[in-house]
């Protein structure tokens, strides 16, 4: 969920929370009656008869969960949010937090603040879900902290709809020693710990009685993973050292070394080649040692061992601190739930349909980093499609018949649309003409032939904040219109069933992606392969990130932090 | 070292560090040659012959140590600073940090930043002094952090002059359970922990499955100690709950209780009675339960037990969090050093003479909370005083003879001056006249009789930031002029020896003291018993504190924090 992207429409809604008006919003905990044991009381005999609200349970307060909560505005739901973090964190700024360019508190917003002004009943519990029981529609939770004499409080929450947005764990690829000795960069606490470790390393290395070798080791910072997070952290660390720390620790300067290890042949492989090249060149000039094709095979308390992909050569180097940033792995609770609903254990994340509903369930949704959309293949449904399109049951499709369903096909199977765009064709009829020239009617075989390459266009969405936020907003809009959509379905034709789908399937809009490279330079890859690199892009980065922040409070704080850094530099107090 | 006072001249110097000019100052660690083992190299044969710099070691980076470092500007010293905290913290704002009115980082400034622009060689080591060896003039230090494979690094530093400014520990009066279960409020980390605990308590109490009793217990905040720190914390906590938390945790509001326990008959006993009364009334209106005459005798993990001073009745109450703020106790290292130099172990702090030199040593100084000035009594020296004044050795003092030494007496024994002021007398001759009417000459007995009540005026200085900062500045000025003063002593006559003292003794100037009481109201006691209470005093408090902050960075950050709090309230994210 690392890389932030540009102009993301889905998260625009984050902007309009006015923190200025200080209204005490009445959302009493006792009001909802959503809890298992509270049920008995909720049907009090004197209460006027009212429609029982549907109970929605949201797991997680990251990008997906928060975006869902922000957009949900149908008061016919009673919502309970369960997350060990009582705040939303603007994760794209975590690398800035590691070195104090931005303060941790500037990028977080209490979830209670985010939901308090809604017309929907939302309750939040600071707890971790440790088991999802989809059979009896219950979620088992455990409080974050000990309750005296009871240990951690456990409780059960019932749901009608469950929204799983629990995110993911860092992926260690089971490399020995990683969990014990490496820093991760997924949570605010991780960033705080890294910041402290960097200062500690400089203080340690300044002690009077050490050898040069020891100082070198302490000030050797290793970053594993050349993705956007790893690269941005390496760049931020380099700036912190060069712009601030060497001034206060002049003797330590000559011992500092930053190494970036990447298993692939290049860093930032998800970006355009021009960006990759620029970044590698810049890091070279900056003295950041980028070791490509270098797989980490072991981390001990003192050394990190790598194997070169080219010749299998094993190398070992002493380090002071390692930051591990190589992608995401599965949360154990999600893993357990996958078993329950019959999904393959080899999967990395939960599979959902195109409406974000978990496959094998009917009232559980999953979004963000813990889920992936399993796009239905055209070839699986090709017979049904043909049959539905062939209205006169002639066994042949006319172009007219096909054109009548073409919009539904493109909506249900976006890969068709994508394929047409790639081939620069106007519509599906062109595809047929292209293939079968002047034939007015086509058989199922001809249709199959025409569409045979289409499914290759299916790609999994990246695990980014942009995707998660769009999914949360999409799902909230579906929930908002659930009743109307039941009566007037908005979605495409059901090719394998009757009628139409209730909603249009989720469609991701990519607005571009940034890669800050340090020294007030940023690379950006915008839609349409437009690439922009340099100081002006850094300013674009500043303005986009400022506009994307969750509230006026965080926005003003982050901007203040930036200004403060320009004027005073970054703080090096060890707190 | 809690209470901050007004217009404190000594710390004015903190204001003028301009952080805007970003100059890389050359103070190489290897330059000083101050280290024990570095000594061998420091007399390199090729180096030009130069006067060996005096080695000054400063222990501590609190108010006293930092103030000393700021004012020291004689380049003939080589200074080494040893402290486990690599920053100076503006401790008077700690109660504000506990609830997020001010951010922790806004009140700290790296010590390296404070000393870097000086013309004096200053080196800082992040380490703790664990033993002072005054025999061989060495300080034994241990690094804060583990060095791999070696545990904590230990090293030894030689000194010519030692400045002990290590502060003090919280005083638990050996009450059982305090160390295990209470929060203190002396360090920035303490304040951060308290803030986290308050939010945690609200989150815990909001969990769905708890009893009313459990919620009440969790939200019972107990403050032990009705001094300025305890009172300010209770007031800040009350504001935080009332202004921010009840809006986000509406159901928890009714369970919150704040109790303030004070063993004496009133809170804020060091202040004017009007302030005490106002504070007690205000707390009553605010619903803060002030229990006077209530001594804590035991703290368990769930309950706190008190004994009423009046009738010895023991009461026990369950609590969610306790903050312990009852004054200061001795640091074990200081305790051990007191033994070495033959000071009584029953003393709470190091005794120094009026020039801040530790009694029983000749090159060790102690200042701030770890020391107290042992003011010489006039009666101890009365014979010497008489003899020195009686120039013609007549056995009688004329008023003229007395008047010749009266300034020296008043400077050496400030209690005389104080006594005269209390009695509203112009000078010592008036005292004699008053006593012995028209006698022109007085005997030693008559002098003794005239001065017999004078020593009752001797009072220990309070353990405040104001005292510590003035002492640091005073000592630095002495160090700056050490050589000149050797030749031209500036101090008063040595009554028991020959010549004059090198320096005037330290004299404390009290500029007043604030007691913030919450709800934008503050009480202030200014010199001359001028008392000011209310909203306007809060604004005085804002401006004085802002002006006292250590740097332009901290100043602008704290003011930003205040503005932020006015607009957005305090953050309740659990980080």
Q: Model confidence at B299, in pLDDT bands (50, 70, 90)?
A: very high
Q: Model confidence at A383, in pLDDT bands (50, 70, 90)?
A: very high
Give the Cα separation of A312 and A308 in Å (integer): 5
Q: Extract the tokens encoding B453.
A: 């009540």
A153:B207 CB<8 A? yes
Q: Check: CB of residue A495 under 8 Å from CB of residue A389.
A: no
- The enclosing H or E element of B203 equals helix B188-205
How many residues would you count in chain B? 575
Q: Minimal CA–CA distance to B429: which of B421, B382, B420?
A: B420
Residue B529, burial from CB neighbour count under 10 angstroms (0-12, 13-18, 19+) = exposed
Q: Check: CB of residue B510 under 8 Å from CB of residue B5.
A: yes
Architecture of domain B189-322: 3-Layer(bba) Sandwich (3.50)
pLDDT at A411 over 60: yes
Task: Give me the pLDDT at residue A136, please.
Answer: 95
Task: Give me the pLDDT at residue A382, please.
Answer: 92
Task: Give me the pLDDT at residue B8, please.
Answer: 42
Q: Which of A157, A204, A250 sits opposite B28 (nearest CB)?
A: A250
Q: Model confidence at B3, in pLDDT bands (50, 70, 90)?
A: very low
Task: Give me the pLDDT at residue A12, please.
Answer: 38
Architecture of domain B378-457: Orthogonal Bundle (1.10)
Which chain B residue has its CA at the smallest distance from A200's CA? B145
Q: Is B145 on the interface with A (CB under 8 A)?
A: yes
Q: B416-467 pLDDT, tens per residue?
A: 888 888 887 776 667 666 554 555 788 888 888 888 889 998 988 999 999 9
Domains in chain A: boundaries: 33-43+52-168+330-375+460-509, 178-328, 376-457
Q: Extract the tokens encoding A31.
A: 């009001």
> Three-state DSSP class for B128?
strand
B30:A251 CB<8 A? yes
DSSP A376: P
One DSSP character per residue, A219-263 reads TEEEEE--SHHHHHHHHHHHHHIIIIIHHH-TTTGGG-EEEEE-S
Hey, which residues 518-537 in chain B have their CB within 8 Å of chain A?
none
Q: Is-same-fold flag (A33-43+52-168+330-375+460-509; A178-328)?
A: yes
Which chain B residue has its CA at the smallest distance from A300's CA? B148
Give the Cα separation of A321 and A258 in Å (integer): 10
- The enclosing H or E element of B307 equals strand B303-308
Write down the residue that tokens 């702090």 correspond to. B349
B108:A302 CB<8 A? no
Cβ neighbours, 10 Å, residue B229: 25
Min Cα distance B497 → chain A (Å) is 43
pLDDT at A276 over 50: yes
Give the Cα separation of B184 and B172 in Å (integer): 10
Mean pLDDT in chain A?
87
Cβ neighbours, 10 Å, residue A301: 10
> Three-state DSSP class for B94?
helix
Give the Cα separation of A525 and A164 in Å (integer): 30
The region of weakest confidence among A360-364, B46-50, B451-455, B470-474 is B46-50
Residue A25: list chain B partners with CB under 8 A. Answer: 247, 250
> Taking residues B139-153, what's their average pLDDT?
87
Hey, which residues 252-281 in chain A have their CB within 8 Å of chain B?
none
Residue B398, burial from CB neighbour count under 10 angstroms (0-12, 13-18, 19+) = middle
Q: B250-292 pLDDT, tens per residue?
A: 989 999 999 999 999 999 999 999 999 999 999 999 999 999 9
Number of H helices, E strands in chain A: 20, 25
Min Cα distance A99 → chain B (Å) is 13
- Looking at domain A376-457, its CATH class is mainly alpha
Mutation site for B-interface testing, chosen from A208, A214, A553, A574 by largest number of B Cβ within 10 Å: A208
Ranges of beta strands (E only) in B342-470 are 350-352, 364-366, 371-373, 397-398, 441-442
Cβ neighbours, 10 Å, residue B381: 17
**C-alpha angle with apex B205: B202 to B208, nearest 5 degrees?**
130
Which chain B residue has its CA at the smallest distance from A554's CA? B568
Q: Which of A104, A204, A560 sits opposite B560 (nearest CB)?
A: A560
pLDDT at A27 over 60: no
Q: B534-555 pLDDT, tens per residue?
A: 999 999 899 888 888 888 888 9
State phi, psi for A371 to the nearest 5 degrees: -135, 160
Min Cα distance B25 → chain A (Å) is 7
Which chain A residue has its CA at the smallest distance from B210's CA? A153
- The enclosing H or E element of A394 equals none
Cβ neighbours, 10 Å, residue A13: 16
Give the Cα separation of A60 and A67 in Å (integer): 11
> Taking residues A261-284, what's their average pLDDT?
95
State phi, psi for A120 to the nearest 5 degrees: -100, 140
> Three-state DSSP class for B114?
helix
Q: Minimal CA–CA distance to B83: which of A211, A197, A574?
A: A574
A126:B302 CB<8 A? no
Residue B143: list chain A partners with CB under 8 A. Answer: 204, 207
Task: Give me the pLDDT at residue A37, please.
Answer: 35
Residue A552: list chain B partners with CB under 8 A. Answer: 568
B105:A188 CB<8 A? no
More confident residue, A6 or B200: B200
DSSP B324: E
Q: Extract the tokens encoding B452.
A: 């017999």
Write down the residue that tokens 């005096």 correspond to. B54
pLDDT at B37 over 50: no
Give the Cα separation of B357 and B344 in Å (integer): 16
- The enclosing H or E element of B119 equals none
Q: Is the ipTM of this complex over 0.90?
A: no
Give the Cα separation of B366 and B334 in Å (integer): 10
More confident residue, A17 or A149: A149
Give the Cα separation of B416 and B447 in Å (integer): 12
What would the CATH number be for the domain defined by B1-168+330-375+459-480+512-575?
Answer: 3.50.50.100
Q: Model confidence at A32, in pLDDT bands (50, 70, 90)?
A: very low
Q: Minimal CA–CA distance to B213: which of A471, A110, A512, A150?
A: A150
Report CA Rg, chain B.
26
What would the CATH number be for the domain defined by A33-43+52-168+330-375+460-509?
Answer: 3.50.50.100
Instruction: Give the bridge partners for A160, in sequence order.
Output: none
Mean pLDDT in chain B?
87
pLDDT at B324 over 60: yes
More confident residue, A154 or B403: A154
Task: Give me the pLDDT at residue B402, please.
Answer: 85
Hey, which residues 81-100 in chain B have their CB within 8 Å of chain A?
85-87, 100
pLDDT at B513 over 50: yes
Give the Cα separation of A205 and A220 in Å (integer): 11
Task: Give me the pLDDT at residue B235, please.
Answer: 97
More confident residue, B282 or A32: B282
Q: Extract the tokens encoding A498.
A: 């009757």
Which chain B residue has its CA at the smallest distance from A201's CA? B145
Q: B475-492 pLDDT, tens per residue?
A: 999 999 999 999 999 999
| This prediction's pTM | 0.87
The region of weakest confidence among A10-14, A137-141, B281-285 is A10-14
Q: How far apart are the first and last CA of chain A?
A: 28
The region of weakest confidence among A144-153, B61-70, B174-183 is A144-153
Architecture of domain A178-328: 3-Layer(bba) Sandwich (3.50)
More confident residue, B219 or A16: B219
Q: Check: CB of residue A469 under 8 Å from CB of residue A63.
A: yes
Q: A425-479 pLDDT, tens per residue?
A: 776 667 666 554 555 788 888 888 888 889 998 988 999 999 999 999 999 999 9
pLDDT at A311 over 90: yes
In chain A, % of residues over pLDDT 90: 65
CB pairs under 8 A between A and B: 202
> Taking residues A255-263, what's their average pLDDT?
97
Q: Check: CB of residue A307 under 8 Å from CB of residue A297.
A: yes
pLDDT at B313 over 60: yes
| Burial per residue of A195-221, b for 16 or more beta-carbon CB atoms within 10 angstroms, e otherwise | bebbbbbbbbbbbbbbeeebbbbbbbb
Q: Check: CB of residue A496 under 8 Å from CB of residue A502.
A: no
Task: Give me the pLDDT at residue B531, please.
Answer: 92
Q: B193-202 pLDDT, tens per residue?
A: 999 999 999 9
Give the Cα separation of B235 and B268 in Å (integer): 13
Min Cα distance B318 → chain A (Å) is 11
Q: Extract the tokens encoding A537.
A: 């892009």
Q: Is A556 on the interface with B (CB under 8 A)?
A: yes
More confident residue, B358 or B423: B358
Min Cα distance B509 → chain A (Å) is 31
């Amino acid at each position: 969920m690392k890389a932030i992207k540009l102009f993301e429409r889905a998260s625009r809604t984050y902007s309009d929370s006015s923190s200025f008006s200080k209204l005490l919003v009445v959302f009493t905990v006792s009001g909802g009656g959503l809890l298992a044991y509270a049920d008995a009381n909720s049907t009090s005999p004197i209460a006027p008869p009212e429609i029982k609200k549907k109970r929605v349970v949201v797991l997680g307060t990251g990008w997906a969960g928060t975006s869902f909560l922000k957009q949900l505005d149908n008061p016919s739901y009673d919502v309970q949010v369960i997350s060990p973090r009582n705040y939303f964190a603007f994760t794209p700024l975590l690398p800035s937090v590691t070195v104090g360019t931005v303060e941790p508190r500037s990028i977080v917003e209490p979830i209670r603040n985010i939901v308090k002004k809604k017309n929907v009943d939302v309750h939040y519990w600071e707890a971790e879900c440790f088991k999802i029981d989809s059979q009896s529609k219950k979620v088992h939770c455990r409080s974050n902290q000990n309750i005296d004499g009871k240990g951690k409080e456990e409780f059960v929450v019932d749901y009608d709809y469950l929204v799983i947005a629990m995110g993911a764990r860092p992926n260690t690829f089971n490399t020995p020693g990683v969990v014990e000795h490496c820093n991760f960069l997924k949570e605010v606490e991780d960033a705080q710990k890294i910041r402290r470790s960097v200062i500690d390393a400089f203080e340690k290395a300044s002690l009077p009685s050490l050898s040069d070798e020891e100082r070198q080791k302490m000030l050797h910072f290793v970053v594993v993973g050349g993705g956007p997070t790893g690269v941005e952290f390496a760049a931020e660390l380099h700036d912190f050292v060069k712009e601030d720390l060497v001034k206060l620790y002049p003797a330590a300067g000559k011992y500092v070394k930053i190494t970036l290890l990447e298993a692939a042949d290049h860093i930032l492989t998800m970006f355009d080649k021009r960006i990759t090249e620029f970044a590698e060149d810049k890091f070279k000039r900056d003295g950041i040692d980028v070791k490509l094709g270098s797989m980490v095979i072991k981390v001990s308390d003192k050394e990190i061992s790598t194997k070169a992909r080219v010749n299998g050569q094993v190398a070992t180097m002493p380090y002071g601190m390692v930051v591990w940033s190589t992608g995401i792995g599965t949360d154990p609770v999600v893993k357990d739930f996958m078993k329950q609903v019959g999904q393959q254990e080899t999967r990395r994340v939960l599979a959902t349909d195109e409406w974000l509903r978990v496959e094998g369930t009917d009232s559980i949704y999953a979004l963000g980093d813990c889920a992936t959309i399993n796009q239905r293949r055209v070839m699986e449904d090709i017979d049904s499609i043909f049959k539905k399109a062939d209205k006169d049951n002639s066994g042949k499709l006319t172009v007219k018949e096909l054109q009548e369903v073409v919009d539904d096909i493109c909506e249900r199977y976006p890969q068709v649309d994508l394929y047409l765009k790639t081939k620069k064709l106007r519509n599906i009829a062109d595809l047929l003409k292209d293939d079968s020239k002047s034939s007015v009617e086509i058989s199922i075989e001809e249709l199959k032939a025409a569409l045979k390459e289409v499914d290759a266009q299916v790609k999994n969405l990246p695990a980014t904040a942009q995707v998660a936020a769009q999914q949360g907003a999409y799902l909230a809009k579906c929930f908002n219109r659930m009743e109307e959509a039941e009566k007037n379905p908005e979605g495409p034709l059901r090719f394998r069933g009757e009628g139409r789908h209730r909603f249009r399937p989720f469609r991701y809009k990519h607005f571009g992606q940034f890669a800050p490279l340090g020294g007030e330079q940023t690379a950006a890859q915008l839609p349409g392969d437009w690439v922009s690199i340099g100081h002006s892009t850094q300013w674009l980065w500043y303005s986009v990130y400022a506009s994307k922040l969750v509230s006026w409070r965080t926005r003003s704080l982050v901007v203040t932090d930036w200004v403060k850094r320009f004027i005073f530099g970054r703080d090096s107090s060890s707190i």
